[in-house]
Structure 1
């Protein structure tokens, strides 16, 4: 994606972006149950980025990658976003999916995340970049996120997105249930629950537990459990970074 031309962002395109933002906001506000899967769509489209090869990233190609097992269930989010795409056809899928992720966080109580449009689509690209395996260890998380060009703080902050949604057997075999008491509220409860240890009815992946087992990760997890404002600030920065991987956003 880094070598692709920026999508032309003119006045008409900006109007359609703002229209898409409003429609996404209204749709998600009235259908909050879609917020977690829409946020997952944004993460998975961006998460294939390879900082060395300059391939993958938030280019909209995930709609061609639904056979990739980690993307099970993502079609629901793609179909949800398609109703907005139909109304605002100039908006690229790459921009739409990242904008949807930003709005999903905001309507569920999370921080405002700045969004810069202009991502080009790669409609024929089949990204094969690995995504995090929930059964992985700390080295696995670093292998995946460092490949993208992200760091330890990004890993922990972005893990906090598990305050939304739940685990599903068809997507994460062996796990079923929410991560927090209110899976449609974006807050720091993921880290609060993490500090409590195993809680009946709530799910913790091995990749969640490693955030306490690894000293470098734990310092951030403890901080975020104590201070939601710090978590929100770091999370917004990390999701913005994730949403712009390989995208030389105009400043």
Structure 2
């Protein structure tokens, strides 16, 4: 199951995450009369999801075909060459189509040019069983906020779909936050490389980086969503998933907008760009300053450690940070100051445990928020005011999710509304209140 190594401590692990290859292109041709609109989601949603609970043709028969009779050979040869020419021409058009501008690599279903963020034009029979899966959604025009709200809802509907997940925790929210964070936190402002634009964790070697161990769970989760909405880029999907998880677990509304483009394996970022959990304040600042964050933003983002837990089979560390690891609150900061933390006596890496219950843990990077004077003043502020924490986290998380994305991408995104405008999405509970 997935470890949750988040903002103050991106955890190293021995296991390597499985990678999910991009979908191959399937060319779909249809007339307007045969295009069907995908059915709206019919599943009944539960009430509020904010709770404490916490992926060869057959060979000829012996002897083969008889030789051609005299006079057939030339004609047969001409037909053969003509057929080959047609195949070559079709292949050239498919792979080198001007609309794709790339050698036929990295496209999703329905001729979606995932590299350039264009929207798929998918034709699907909504009445077909589709192998037990929902038919891909149809977009016959540029996407709207309503289309993305449907993606949001599909992600949210599945968050508690497997009660046995993560040793009974039963909630995928924390690992989706971690996926969004690790897909974005590779940004280097000096080289203008990395960041959320690309979703290059789909490929090795990035998928195999120790810090990304366990994230194959989140990528598989998102792949199932992508099969239903093949028009959305993985880059947009993964970051939107982080927004969904934060909001559905009771956190603040996080502004979001589409426009990220997917990239190829050659754009994978080098290992070592995410924080190590066993390092102090100098390391934390080095990593986050490289991305463009200041001390206040570093501490605010660290508050995501209210969610999830560490796993020994991935990071070497063990345990949750809070008593309610699927509820987004300021409890992480309160526990830092209200509990007494002792070094844990065990054979694993250095970590701290609370004296009272010995069931919670903090990492060296977490303790740095208390020990470093500049960090401490913000940690104290957030321990006292959850509203202030929510406000600052929302702004910092939105900034994180847009790292490495050129502003013109957001303005050029194929959406029908005002270009570049940030959206707010309603939670499932808020939608049910109407």
Contact 2:118 2:231 in 1 (8 A): no
1:178 to 306, 320, 329: 320
1:50 to 188, 191, 208: 188
Any residues of structure 2 matched to 1:50-69 within 5 Å, and which?
50-58=188-196, 59-64=198-203, 65-69=206-210
Aligned counterpart, 2:278? 135
Aligned counterparts of 2:176 and 2:217: Cα–Cα separation in 1: 8
Aligned counterpart, 1:216? 374
Deviations 1:122-180 (A, max 9, x none): 1322111510000011010011011111111111111110101001112221x211100
Aligned length: 246
Aligned counterparts of 1:146 and 1:62: Cα–Cα separation in 2: 22
Find the residue that maps to 1:86 and give its secondary structure.
helix
Any residues of structure 2 matched to 1:64-79 within 5 Å, and which?
64=203, 65-79=206-220
Displaced runs of 4 or more, over 6 A: none
Aligned counterpart, 2:329? 187
Shift of 1:197: 3.1
Contact 2:117 2:232 in 1 (8 A): no
RMSD: 1.7
Aligned counterpart, 1:21? 152
Aligned counterparts of 2:147 and 2:308: Cα–Cα separation in 1: 29
Contact 1:16 1:91 in 2 (8 A): no
Aligned counterpart, 1:83? 224
Aligned counterparts of 1:18 and 1:85: Cα–Cα separation in 2: 14
Shift of 1:29: 5.2
Shift of 1:21: 1.0
Aligned counterparts of 1:42 and 1:131: Cα–Cα separation in 2: 13
The more displaced of 22-31 and 41-50 is: 22-31
List gaps (5 residues or longer) in structure 1.
Answer: none
Shift of 1:12: 3.4
Shift of 1:86: 0.4
Report the TM-score when normalising by structure 1.
Answer: 0.93
Aligned counterparts of 2:176 and 2:259: Cα–Cα separation in 1: 20
List gaps (5 residues or longer) in structure 2.
Answer: 1-114, 120-138, 163-169, 342-353, 411-419, 422-434
Shift of 1:28: 1.8
Contact 1:168 1:176 in 2 (8 A): yes
Any residues of structure 2 matched to 1:233-248 within 5 Å, and which?
233-247=391-405, 248=407
Aligned counterpart, 1:144? 287
Contact 2:160 2:172 in 1 (8 A): no
Aligned counterpart, 1:97? 238
Find the residue that maps to 1:41 and give its secondary structure.
helix
Aligned counterparts of 1:156 and 1:6: Cα–Cα separation in 2: 34
Q: Larger C-alpha radius of gyration, 1 or 2?
A: 2
Find the residue that maps to 1:52 and give its secondary structure.
coil
Aligned counterpart, 1:114? 255
Give the structure with the higher percent helix.
Answer: 1
Find the residue that maps to 1:49 and give its secondary structure.
coil
Contact 1:110 1:187 in 2 (8 A): yes
Report the TM-score when normalising by structure 2.
Answer: 0.55
Aligned counterparts of 1:217 and 1:128: Cα–Cα separation in 2: 28
